[in-house]
Structure 1
Amino acid sequence: MTSTTSENPSTAPLRVGLLGTGPWAARVHGPALAAHPGVTLTGVWGRRPEAAAELAKELGSQAYEEVDALIADVDAIAVALPPDIQAPLAVKAARAGRHLLLDKPVATTVESARELADTAAGVASVVFFTLRFSAAAAPWIEEQAAVEGWFSGRADWIGSIYAPDNKSPYADSPWRRERGALWDVGPHALSVLLPVLGDVTEVTALRGPLDTVHVLLRHASGASSSTALSLTAPEKASGVTAEFRGAQGIAELPAVWGEGPVASYGTAIDALLEAVRTGVPHPCDVRLGLRVTEILAQAEQALTR
């Protein structure tokens, strides 16, 4: 795994191209990339050229009309696009030797996720599972992963972006509305459960109110876990919680939103830079992205039975 920078990769800023112009790109990816001292935001590409031009101006960068031209000019791409658009573009970038900073889920089909994981084997990759890069949540997850003998776990992400009085800027996303909480926030829950309880060996699921989904998991460690996922809960019912129970007691996830997503994304950028510098894969790379897609696909199949 090598950097494509022309200078010493340990000192030269990583040239990054941002793919996407929606609210998540404009509020999180773009500002974090523009402010990070270890990268140069080379350019912005989007499916709407006028939006790319506007966002590039705000970020002090330049807009690209062709995605291939931007990929050719950078060392890495950061993607803030729907997963079924992200996957083929990430494959294209990986084939060109570009490192990847992706959003979750990496894809919504196992075939697309597997192609991406196979193609990206020769580059550095990081998938932005928000809790795994949160200053509050990440150390807690690592601490629980070091403990043996967990009996059960739970990770719930109850959102309310589609509640009647919620004016979330993310509510207009067609893919999020179509695929629902299972695919949008399910990856976050799995990113907490997997490193602590181990890989999943059995999956079942059932539907709750509106887009709410309950998933039950059996893990290779022998532990079981559950997750409740929703984007349509009343605002006062929303929240993110996680806990693990075992002979040593109960461990509960601390408050996770203190520093905000821009700071968490900055930590993800740090992780990509470290992976590029050392050649050591990050735990949240495309292989985890593939495994998460496989588990979510199994849960979706269980819902149809």
Structure 2
Amino acid sequence: MRIGLLGTGPWAERVHAPALAEHPGLEFTGVWGRRAEAAEALGTAHGVPGYADLDRLLADVDAVSIALPPSVQAGLAVRAAEAGCHLLLDKPVAFTVPDARAVAEAVREHKVASVVFFTVRFGGEQIPWIERQAELGGWFTGRSDWLGSVFAPGSTSPYAASPWRREKGSLWDVGPHALSVLLPVLGEVTEVTAVAGPLDTVHLVLRHAGGASSTLALSLTAPRAGGGVAMELRGEHGVVQLPERGESPTTALHRALDALRSSAATGEPHPCGADFGLRVVEVLAAAERSLADGRPVAL
């Protein structure tokens, strides 16, 4: 599979480009970015050309791996699907439901494969854990704390310079990670209530179609000593915790790329494809409305 990279920022440089260059079964073909000089530099670092013309890159590849802000990703994903390219998408797929729906519809219309790269969903220990809990069922409630310190005092995060993370906050950055685990285990969300916490912190209460409820605490501004990630389920089978992540996101991306290749070869949609990405955006958009209106929002 010939694959191109769209994006030249820290996530593209640190995670996407190395994975594409190393992955067996892929031919890393080139890099396109909104700044031609950045695309040229990142491409040179991995022995591939930088493209100034996106349409030319799309014509030269079978798939694209997108590492761009969600507001940019959606339109380019539709454009790539229209060119017949399979899609490795980043989370969230978009910032609005219509944009996310446009991506899902383009994937179906043009019969291309799609995988949304939620890092937890492609973790080595997390994959079997999620599958096992979904198979067991009988869960009464879930809790997810995703407390990052990207914008906390003393942060050295390379993503602290991200304009969209600063504008949209934790709801749209780390919220998708929590939802990517809770939805396949507890079921579709039917109602969301959101309450603002300190700075960009958001607390969500979700009702799920199967009868369970869940709570989420999300932040990018938690004190560095008080941050961290934890997820817990309680139900008929007791109490279980999501295993801690012990590997790099690049390792998880290799699994996502394998999933994309498999979906493209078989024609079978991946459970973490564009349709799932749309459902996550629908929940996030409902939470945003709940924050603004101060009331629960039904989905």
Tell me if both proteins adopt one fold, taking TM over 0.5 as the criterion. Answer: yes
Equivalent residue, structure 2, for 1:32 = 19
Equivalent residue, structure 1, for 2:257 = 269
Equivalent residue, structure 2, for 1:182 = 171
What pairs up with 1:201-216 in 2 under 5 angstroms? 201-216=190-205
- With the length of structure 2 as denominator, give the TM-score of the two structures: 0.96
Q: Which runs of 5+ in 1 are unaligned?
A: 1-13
For residues 106-149 of structure 1, give each alpha carbon's deviation from its aligned partner in whole angstroms, at most 9, with x where no partner exists: 00000000111001111100000010001121211111111121
Equivalent residue, structure 2, for 1:195 = 184
Alpha-carbon offset, residue 195 of structure 1: 0.4
For residues 148-168 of structure 1, give each alpha carbon's deviation from its aligned partner in whole angstroms, at most 9, with x where no partner exists: 211001122110010110111
AA aligned to 2:98 is: E
Distance 2:229 2:130 in 1: 14
Out of 54, 61, 66, the residue aligned to residue 41 of structure 2 is 54
AA aligned to 1:262 is: T
Alpha-carbon offset, residue 175 of structure 1: 0.7
Q: Which moved more, 1:19-28 or 1:130-139?
A: 130-139
For residues 261-296 of structure 1, give each alpha carbon's deviation from its aligned partner in whole angstroms, at most 9, with x where no partner exists: 110000000000110111111110000000000000
Distance 1:39 1:247 in 2: 44
Equivalent residue, structure 2, for 1:298 = 286
Equivalent residue, structure 1, for 2:70 = 83
Equivalent residue, structure 2, for 1:7 = none
In the comparison of the two structures, how many residue pairs are matched? Answer: 291
Out of 73, 77, 86, the residue aligned to residue 99 of structure 1 is 86
Alpha-carbon offset, residue 252 of structure 1: 0.6
What pairs up with 1:1-305 in 2 under 5 angstroms? 14-121=1-108, 122-256=111-245, 258-305=246-293
Secondary structure of 2:87 counterpart: strand
Alpha-carbon offset, residue 255 of structure 1: 1.2
Whether the 8 Å CA contact 1:155–1:192 is kept in 2: the answer is no
Equivalent residue, structure 2, for 1:10 = none
Distance 2:33 2:75 in 1: 15
Distance 1:148 1:71 in 2: 42
For residues 24-57 of structure 1, give each alpha carbon's deviation from its aligned partner in whole angstroms, at most 9, with x where no partner exists: 0000000001000111110001111111111101
Distance 1:169 1:208 in 2: 24
Distance 1:269 1:304 in 2: 37
Q: Which runs of 5+ in 2 are unaligned?
A: 294-299
For residues 182-202 of structure 1, give each alpha carbon's deviation from its aligned partner in whole angstroms, at most 9, with x where no partner exists: 001100000010000000111
Alpha-carbon offset, residue 66 of structure 1: 1.0
Alpha-carbon offset, residue 78 of structure 1: 0.5
AA aligned to 1:280 is: E
Distance 1:38 1:209 in 2: 46
Structure 1 runs, 4 residues or longer, greater than 4 Å off? none
Secondary structure of 1:146 counterpart: helix
Distance 2:80 2:131 in 1: 31
Distance 1:48 1:238 in 2: 34
Q: Which moved more, 1:147-156 or 1:282-291?
A: 147-156
Identity, in percent, stands at: 62
Distance 1:236 1:133 in 2: 27
- With the length of structure 1 as denominator, give the TM-score of the two structures: 0.94
Distance 1:148 1:78 in 2: 34
Distance 1:74 1:83 in 2: 22
Distance 1:106 1:158 in 2: 21
Secondary structure of 2:194 counterpart: strand
Distance 1:100 1:186 in 2: 22
Distance 1:47 1:101 in 2: 18
